[in-house]
Amino acid sequence: MKFKEWYFHVAIIAFCTSFLSSLAYADSFSIAKGYQENSNNTDSDAYAVKYIHDINKQFDIGLLLNNSKNKTTDGIVSQYEISTKYKVPVASRTLVYGGTVLGSLQPSGTTSRNYAGVEVGVMTKPFSKVGLRLDHTLMTGVNVSTMDNNFTKVWLAYDLTKSDVVALRRDFMRGDLKFDAWRLIYQHKF
């Protein structure tokens, strides 16, 4: 393992350890089930969990664990990602945000593909229980040349209660990786 890869993995483990120690105070927990259409004319089933911890009203840290299984090849891809988000209100019930992502894509049978990126987006709630969200991430490989991607997500969410939300999300990945996906998400806020 190259020094830069080793350093990257140590940084991820250290951050995850400190992040997991604060999960008792996590602001939300999400689970997702997805259907993904891959660029090689195959489909994958995807499952994800995400913890988000609010540092304050404007800044949060997230930890994502995602797995997908190709229905044709039975290949499994695991994804681990840490993200930060800084939110700024711009109007009543509308905010914009920006943040960073640092992650690792681990396809079965091949080496890991580490990446870093910048995410920008907007969230709005046009009705009391209905939310809309659009975000876009620009990412590039870390110690690899195959992770230059643009990732766009479009969300429609509905508040079941003050603590429980369901969302439908459409994903578009373009670049070195290419797929389209649908995700059904359930989120519980603490």
Note the Cα 65 to chain centre separation in Å. Answer: 8
Q: Taking 50 as the threshold, does the pLDDT of residue 23 lie above it?
A: no
Domain that holds residue 132: 3-189
Would you say residue 61 has pLDDT above 50? yes
Q: What is the pLDDT of residue 19?
A: 46
Q: Tell me how many domains the chain contains.
A: 1
Which pLDDT band holds residue 6 (cuts at 50, 70, 90)? low
- Convert the pLDDT of each residue in 118-129 to its tens digit: 999 999 999 999
- The model's pLDDT over 132-166, given as tens digits with 9 standing for 90+, comes to 999 999 999 998 888 999 999 999 999 999 999 99
pLDDT of residue 11: 56
Confidence of residue 26 (pLDDT cuts 50, 70, 90): low
Q: CATH no. for residue 102? A: 2.40.160.20
pTM of the model: 0.83
Residue 20 CA from chain centroid, whole number: 17
Distance of CA 154 to the CA centre of its chain: 13
Average pLDDT in the 46-50 region? 97
